[in-house]
Amino acid sequence: MADSPASAPRFLAPAQVAELLAIDVDEVVALVISGRLRGAQLGTPARWRVAEDSIAEYLAEQTEEARRMALWRQADAASFPEVWGTQRPTR
């Protein structure tokens, strides 16, 4: 028996993805080509389509990257007394 339509991957046009992510269509295509979004050229004539579930994965990656950068900036801005305390080392 064939898989139900609910389990079939859903593909979106780059314009739809661009609207969801608030970026240009060219950026969406570049993300697909670079492998950051999963997609393929489908149909005749071939047109780019993006796997819908890859959008959530991409956003999770972006969120994690932003979190790490914020932690890096926070650590970079911390002064030495904040990091190691104000006590002098004992010998």
| Whole-number pLDDT of residue 82 | 58
Tell me if 77 sits within 8 A of 66, measured CB to CB: no
| Whole-number pLDDT of residue 5 | 59
Instruction: With a cut of 50, list the residues of the chain below it in pLDDT.
Output: 1
Rounded Cα gap, residues 29 and 17, in angstroms = 10
pTM over 0.85: no
Q: How far apart are the first and last CA of the chain?
A: 76
| Whole-number pLDDT of residue 1 | 47
Helix (H) or strand (E) holding 54: helix 52-77
Residue that has been written with the tokens 């650590």 in this structure: 75
Counting Cβ atoms within 10 Å, is residue 13 exposed (0-12), middle (13-18) or buried (19+)? middle
